[in-house]
Amino acid sequence: MKTMEIPKEKIKDDIEKYIDPFHIDTKRQEKVYDEIKENSKGDFDFFVLTIFSGIIITLGLVVNSSAVVIGGMLLTPLVWPMLSLSMAIVKGRSRLIQDSVFTLLRSTAIIFVVALFLGFMSPDYALQGSEFLSRTSPTIFELFIALAAGFVGAFVITYPKIGAAIAGVVIAAAIVPPIAVMGISISHGNLIMAGGAFVLFMSNLIAVTFSSSLLFLVARFKGPSSEKGQEQRKSNIRWTLVLLFVMAIPLFLITSKAVKESNQQDVAMAIVVAIIPNSTVMDIEIIDKNEISTINITIQYSRDLTEKQINELKEVLSKKMNKIVVPRITIVPIIKTWEDAS
């Protein structure tokens, strides 16, 4: 009986896959590189999709429809130049870096102009929708989402069996909505909201670029052969990491502030309910200025507040928050529309 000998190359490949599961062969690397480079070209098709995705996403934000926003994100091709930029960083291709950045800049400008134009025609209440507001106060968690999206995006492109998952990556990366929010905000003269959206846009862009570069590195995509090229690649990765940390600082500060405000609101709500029984707290807004906090409280209550309740509320809130608190209470009366027949 003959025994079949397993080729040494197959044994070597099997061992390599076990030790280094992310590694792919040279032929596949070249195919991935060509696919990313082709799809990231700023040609006619690319910009037609960019324009219409910008229109759909902007209108989705205006009408506050998450389904429309997601549909627009599925159309956008901006994930490709981001992957192209990551690939260029890893392979040390300066020309490809320039092309990718230029395509991203042109796409961003186009979407911004589209959003600005549509923003001039949109009503003021468009700035109060949940889809819009969620892009104006980014937190550190959005950065983590973008990091995961970038890594997975590079992963599904590199490994062909799961390439269909790229649609989910495009949604998770969420690079276009913040640009649209910037355009709408500026059209309404709200620079603060535009600034928050800009921070989200930049953090998503940098995070996706960094984490997808990381995947290409662990997959061992071939870098430049020259010593100068190797140094350039290291420098590119270092600068991307530095930019990532820079963008993480404002996101961390915004997150800390949001957590603090949320805790203060919970404390204030508990105090109001304890001091004013049978009331329903509808809204609490805390405005800090120096060492004084003004708390705007809206409650639903069937009677007027007594002076004793107001003074007690001020005293307890000041003690709990360890600062001077000025409560401003708005009462929404409970009106009975019928009498109990009994």
CA angle 182, 186, 188 (to 5 degrees): 125
Q: Which of 207, 28, 232 is nearest to 223 (CA)?
A: 232
Among 13-27, 51-65, 265-279, top mean pLDDT goes to 51-65
Can you give the three-state secondary structure of the chain, one letter per residue? CCCCCCCHHHHHHHHHHHHCCCCCCHHHHHHHHHHHHHHCCCCHHHHHHHHHHHHHHHHHHHCCCHHHHHHHHHHCCCHHHHHHHHHHHHHCCHHHHHHHHHHHHHHHHHHHHHHHHHHHHCCHHHHHCHHHHCCCCCCHHHHHHHHHHHHHHHHHHHCHHHHHHHHHHHHHHCCHHHHHHHHHHHHCCCHHHHHHHHHHHHHHHHHHHHHHHHHHHHCCCCCCCCHHHHHHHHHHHHHHHHHHHHHHHHHHHHHHHHHHHHHHHHHHHHHHHHHCCCCEEEEEEEEEECCEEEEEEEEEECCCCCHHHHHHHHHHHHHHHCCEEEEEEEEEECCCCCCCCC
Residue 317: pLDDT band (50, 70, 90) is confident
Q: Which of 153, 154, 149 is nearest to 172 (CA)?
A: 149
Average pLDDT, the chain: 83
Residue 71: pLDDT band (50, 70, 90) is confident
For residue 55, what are the contacts with CB-CB under 8 A and spacing of at least 6?
Answer: 72, 114, 118
Q: Give the model confidence (pLDDT) of 167-181 as tens digits.
A: 666 666 678 999 999
Q: Give the model confidence (pLDDT) of 215-233 as tens digits.
A: 888 888 877 777 777 788 8
For residues 258 and 269, what is the distance between their CA atoms, to the nearest angstrom?
A: 16
Give me the domains of the chain, ranges plus CATH numbers.
8-223 (1.20.1080), 259-333 (3.30.70.1350)
Q: Give the model confidence (pLDDT) of 87-129 as tens digits.
A: 999 888 888 889 999 999 999 999 999 999 999 999 888 888 8
pTM of the model: 0.80
Q: Give the model confidence (pLDDT) of 148-169 as tens digits.
A: 888 888 888 887 665 555 666 6
* CA torsion through residues 34, 40, 41, 47, sign: positive
